[in-house]
């Protein structure tokens, strides 16, 4: 790739960049429930004279009433939690709330969303995008009552009440003891918003909720596959959470635990489900399980997410103001909420993320707004990036030219002091110092390009704008392009042939030939990596591993390397004159060279080591 400026002297830079690349390459209507078993008032009255148990749907039993007061209390409590047909809450069904971008169906049983559809998006096979459907998600509040029972809201029936006003829709789901005593889930949807208000609160349940037992909220979701390659989608599917007022972390598999959590996001590459809270959860436990072991078999779900969240009672009541987000993993949309949700997008850490946030994202948005296609926007951004980095390319090539001119003298030194490594190193350093050349001057420009290289590697797979945008033969720049389907699967490569990675590999190979071809003609120095092998390694990595990556990323590398080749040809034949460089080096060698402190200290150490070596030989 363009960042790998390879010659014998800059091999360190290649190893670092290649190591980073390798590291990055190895890092997405329920069935009808049987009717609840009902205990009527008459049955309770028939059993007041004797001890009995009332079997509830959650298999929790309680003593029968022994007098009329206990009977009335039992009837009131049972009816409140959906076990009596006499209350409207003990009915099935759903309530739909929606706006122009989102449609939600909230079930009376459990009071949670049983279907969440994003209206403006389709999957890779033209099916509407559902984040919740057919029982893949659940929300359950487990709490204890003062009479010793443990209840789960996912098994109980809520009473819905929907109000609409100027496009805003508010759905109140109440689990009633009476009109003034209830547990409520409240949803509020606004026009054009993927974010909805959500609250959990209780009223008048101080005598019902057992304050000695902390209510626990469990939120689970199995991520549906939405992309052509489930393994590629799964690579960017994980759980992200924010804690301690701004810090964030992610979990790709296994379990974790954190305190003071302010949001939990189940990111499915290009779509995300987020639970946010105004009152941070004091403690939360998370678990992520990968569901894709074989891409040929496991084709429906990516990962399972689960969060366990204890909720605090305040004066014996629940009161939490929260939000749900069901929508795209779009940086602009998430960032506009000003709640640190942009951290959900994997743009890279530290300086890499800053480059993406403040340079590449706004610049690419500008180009996409003025150019007719996203493919052209990628090419235009690549051209600008390479032009901006052309001074670095020039400095690197100039260093290579100097080292090429000095190579005959270096070979003489190597031959003259072949039996004295210490002396050979000293004389080589003196030659570099006199000539005004340094092998590190070829390595440092390559290192300077690492932030840009890594930032773009993170940017293109995370750019929601590229999703399902076509260019040339690629029908989706956020997924791989296909020019041929294979009747078999090649390990690491896949069951298809992508053209953009092939073109990028060819461009990289040509570039590597230009930068390493002359170096390989020289004698291979002992202990140095095999240059011919290194020349083939980078194109091979591109060809194999990028076959399943986003075609937009491969398009960038192809264009970038073509531009770099062009820039280097211009530098070689129109800017750099090797005869002039040679004359300047000879002139520099005649001038007295003032050594800097580091060079002088290093040379003194070498001389001391040489003297010590001579004493030992005596």
3-state secondary structure (DSSP) of residue 357 = helix
Q: How far is CA 440 from CA 221, 254, 395, 401, 539, in A?
A: 52, 43, 11, 13, 25
**Residue 338 to residue 535: CA distance in whole angstroms:** 46
Does residue 589 or residue 188 have the better pLDDT?
188
| Sequence spans of domains, the chain | 11-25+352-589, 39-84, 88-346
**Kind of pairing, strands 247-251 and 319-328?**
unpaired
Range with top average pLDDT, 248-262, 407-421, 559-573: 248-262
Lowest mean pLDDT segment, chosen from 45-59, 62-76, 254-268, 494-508: 45-59
Q: Which pLDDT value is given to residue 603?
A: 61
Query: In sequence order, which residues have a C-beta less than 8 Å from that of residue 398 and are 6 or more positions away?
Result: 441, 576, 581
For the stretch 374-386, pLDDT in tens is 999 999 999 999 8
pLDDT at 167: 81
What number is the average pLDDT over the span 166-177? Answer: 90
Q: Give the DSSP letter string of 583-600.
A: HHHHHHHHSPPPPPHHHH
pLDDT in tens, 209-224: 888 889 999 999 999 9
pLDDT reading at 500 higher than 60: yes
If we measure between CA atoms, which residue out of 317, 322, 310, 265 comes closest to residue 288? 265
pLDDT at 16: 47
Q: What pLDDT sits at residue 28?
A: 33
Residue 453 is predicted with a pLDDT of: 84
pLDDT in tens, 342-369: 999 999 888 888 999 999 999 999 999 9
What pLDDT, on the 0 to 100 scale, is given for residue 609? Answer: 63
According to the model, what pLDDT value does residue 386 have? 87
pLDDT confidence tier of residue 59, bands split at 50, 70 and 90: very low
- What integer best gives the mean pLDDT of the chain? 78
Burial class (CB in 10 A: 0-12, 13-18, 19+), 163: exposed
- What confidence tens digit (pLDDT) does each residue in 566-589 have? 887 887 777 766 666 667 666 665
Give the pLDDT score at 595: 55
Q: What is the pLDDT of residue 498?
A: 92
CA–chain centroid gap for 49, Å, is 63
pLDDT reported for residue 434: 66
Percent of the chain at pLDDT exceeding 90: 42
CATH number of 88-346: 2.70.98.90
DSSP assignment of 76-119 equals: HHHHHTT--TTSTTS---EEEEE-SSEEEEEETBTSSEEEEEEE
User: If we measure between CA atoms, which residue out of 121, 109, 114 comes closest to residue 97?
Assistant: 114
- Summarize the confidence of residues 148-152 as an average pLDDT: 90
Higher pLDDT, 45 or 330: 330
Q: What is the pLDDT of residues 9-18, one digit of tens each?
A: 344 444 545 5
Average pLDDT over residues 276-301: 91
pLDDT digits (tens, 9 = 90+) for 517-541: 544 444 444 444 555 666 677 788 8
Question: What backbone phi and psi angles, to 5 degrees, belong to 181?
Answer: -130, 115
pLDDT, mean of residues 92-103: 93
């Amino acid at each position: 790739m363009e960042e790998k400026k390879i010659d014998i002297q800059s091999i360190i830079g290649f190893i670092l960049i290649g190591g980073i690349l390798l590291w990055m390459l190895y890092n997405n209507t329920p069935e009808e429930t049987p009717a609840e078993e009902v205990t009527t008032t008459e049955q309770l009255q028939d059993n007041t004279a004797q001890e009995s148990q009332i079997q509830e749907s959650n298999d929790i039993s309680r003593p029968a009433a022994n007098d009329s007061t206990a009977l009335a209390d039992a009837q009131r409590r049972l009816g409140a939690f959906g076990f009596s047909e006499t209350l409207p809450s003990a009915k099935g069904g759903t309530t739909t709330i929606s706006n122009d971008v989102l449609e939600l169906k909230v079930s009376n049983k459990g009071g949670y969303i049983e279907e969440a559809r994003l209206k403006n998006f389709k999957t890779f096979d033209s099916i509407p995008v559902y984040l919740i459907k057919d029982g893949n998600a659940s929300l359950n509040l487990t709490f204890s009552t003062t009479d010793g029972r443990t209840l789960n809201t996912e098994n109980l029936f809520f009473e819905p009440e929907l109000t609409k006003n100027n496009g805003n829709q508010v759905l109140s789901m109440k689990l009633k003891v009476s009109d003034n005593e209830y547990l409520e889930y409240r949803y509020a949807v606004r026009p054009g918003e993927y974010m909805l208000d959500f609250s959990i609160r209780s009223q008048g349940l101080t005598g019902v909720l057992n304050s000695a037992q902390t209510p626990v909220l469990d939120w689970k979701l199995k991520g549906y596959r939405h992309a052509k390659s489930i393994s590629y989608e799964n690579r960017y599917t994980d759980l992200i959470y924010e804690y301690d007022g701004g810090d964030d972390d992610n979990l790709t598999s296994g379990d974790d635990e954190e305190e003071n959590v302010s949001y939990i996001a189940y990111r499915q590459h290009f779509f995300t489900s987020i639970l946010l809270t105004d009152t941070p959860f004091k403690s939360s436990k998370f678990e992520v399980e990968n569901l894709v072991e074989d891409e040929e078999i496991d084709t429906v779900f990516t990962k399972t997410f689960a969060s366990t969240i204890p909720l605090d009672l305040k004066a014996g009541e629940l009161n939490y103001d929260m939000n749900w987000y069901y929508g795209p993993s779009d940086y602009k949309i998430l960032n506009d909420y000003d709640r640190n949700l942009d951290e959900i997008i994997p743009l890279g850490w530290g300086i890499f993320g800053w480059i993406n946030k403040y340079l590449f994202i706004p610049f690419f948005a500008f180009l996409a707004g003025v150019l007719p296609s996203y493919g052209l926007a990628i090419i235009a951004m690549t051209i600008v990036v390479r032009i901006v980095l052309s001074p670095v390319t020039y400095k690197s090539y100039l260093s290579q030219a100097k080292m090429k001119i000095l190579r005959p003298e270096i070979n003489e030194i190597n031959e003259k002091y072949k039996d004295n490594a210490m002396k050979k190193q000293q004389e080589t350093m003196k030659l570099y110092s006199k000539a005004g050349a340094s092998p590190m001057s070829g390595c440092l420009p390559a290192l300077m390009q690492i932030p840009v290289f890594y930032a773009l590697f993170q940017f293109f797979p995370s750019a929601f704008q590229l999703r399902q945008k076509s260019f040339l033969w690629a029908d989706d720049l956020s997924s791989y392009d296909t020019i041929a389907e294979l009747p078999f699967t090649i390990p690491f490569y896949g069951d298809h042939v992508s053209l953009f990675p092939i073109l990028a590999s060819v461009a990289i190979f040509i570039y590597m030939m230009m930068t390493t071809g002359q170096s390989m003609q020289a004698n291979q120095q002992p202990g140095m990596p095999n240059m011919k092998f290194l020349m083939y390694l980078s194109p091979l990595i591109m060809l194999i591993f990028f076959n399943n990556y986003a075609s937009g990323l491969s398009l960038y590398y192809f264009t970038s390397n073509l531009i770099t080749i062009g820039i280097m040809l211009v530098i070689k034949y129109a800017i750099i004159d090797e005869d002039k460089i040679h004359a300047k080096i000879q002139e520099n060698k005649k001038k007295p060279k003032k050594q800097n402190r580091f060079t002088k200290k290093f040379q003194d150490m070498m001389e001391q080591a040489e003297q010590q070596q001579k004493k030992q030989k005596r």
